[in-house]
A = this chain, B = another copy of it.
Amino acid sequence: MVLLALGRRTNSSTSDTKESPVVKRKVLPVEYKAGDDFDFCSGASHSEGILQVFNEFRDCRLFTDVVISVQGREFPCHRAVLCACSSYFKAMFCNDHRESREMLVEINGIEAKAMEAFLNYVYTGRAKITTENVQFLFETSNLFQITTLRDACAKFLENQLDPCNCVGIQRFADAHALKQLASRCKNYALANFSEVSNHEEFLDLRIEELKDYIGREDLFVSKEEIVFEAVMKWVYHNVDQRRPMLNSLLQHVRLPLLHPNYFVQTVEGDELIQNAPECYQLLHEARRYHVLGNEMMSPRTRPRRY
């Protein structure tokens, strides 16, 4: 092996060179050059390259040491890769659980396509999040505790917010304790209440949820008629069950602020209201306001503040 003169070299071999009389200059030893160390970093391509090969190994079952079975479909995997990404699998394979020694591991409660998408993410760091898969992708990454993918799904949902889905997304966010997403949904629904109330999801609100919307000062509506119509639409959607809730809902509708013409024709003309004597008190309050104006006050005579 050639020895390169790169560092300090001790002149251990004292050569018996017969010095040329014509040459006055001495032969110089190698000098130490300080600060020469070089911290070489191959960059992300190194680890990305390795993961890519692991993904290829998965296809041809090279070094795979476990088979995950979901809905009868089998996914050969590398335990170490799963453990490196997921504390769920780390707990499964790194302890003395039964699974830690089994070659075939069955996972219930998720779909095969969810497992497939999840494994693709684990082995590539990439996932195509679509309106079709975001929900199961979230739930799978939540189950397996892959926070990056889980958060990406939550962000995707946030970007999807629309009057047609904000109620459902909020319910989803609440179910998974996604506070930020839930808060965004709520604000979105409050700001777009008029449109939200036109969509199917609105009709499936629980009464507490509906009350929370219509009871808020910061509910954005251009006129109180929108709130009244939303309530009536909700009640009529399941009229037999919801008829008894009418009075407690109308408590939150600012009937005095409706236009007197609208009040006389539409509210007082509604069959359901006509047959709900418990609401008469509220109707009376509205009529009084229409006559007396600001001389009378109630929580329902104050315009909403948004």
Instruction: Identify which of A208-216, A231-239, A249-257, A295-303 touches chain B.
Output: A231-239
With A42-B148, A84-B50, A236-B18: A30-B165 Cβ-Cβ less than 8 Å = yes
Whether A293 is near chain B, meaning CB under 8 Å from some CB there, is no
Whether A282 is near chain B, meaning CB under 8 Å from some CB there, is no
Task: Please tell me which one of the listed residues B19, B80, B172 contacts residue A2 in the complex, with CB atoms under 8 A apart.
Answer: B172
Instruction: Identify which of A68-76, A128-136, A283-291 touches chain B.
Output: A128-136
Whether A260 is near chain B, meaning CB under 8 Å from some CB there, is no
Tell me whether B201 and A20 are in contact (CB under 8 A): no
Q: So how many copies of this chain end up in the complex?
A: 2
With A47-B48, A62-B80, A83-B63: A23-B229 Cβ-Cβ less than 8 Å = yes
| Closest B residue, CB atoms, query A79 | B63
Tell me whether B4 and A165 are in contact (CB under 8 A): yes
Complex-state Cα separation, A225 to B63, whole angstroms:
67
Whether A3 is near chain B, meaning CB under 8 Å from some CB there, is yes
Chain A 15-59 interface 0/1 with B at a Cβ cutoff of 8 Å (1 = within): 101111111011111110100111111111111111101100100
Complex-state Cα separation, A78 to B63, whole angstroms:
9
Task: Please tell me which one of the listed residues B17, B139, B160 contacts residue A36 in the complex, with CB atoms under 8 A apart.
Answer: B160
Q: A22-B228, A26-B198, A42-B125 known; 9 other A-B pairs, CB under 8 Å? A: A2-B172, A18-B239, A37-B130, A38-B128, A38-B159, A50-B51, A62-B80, A63-B80, A63-B83
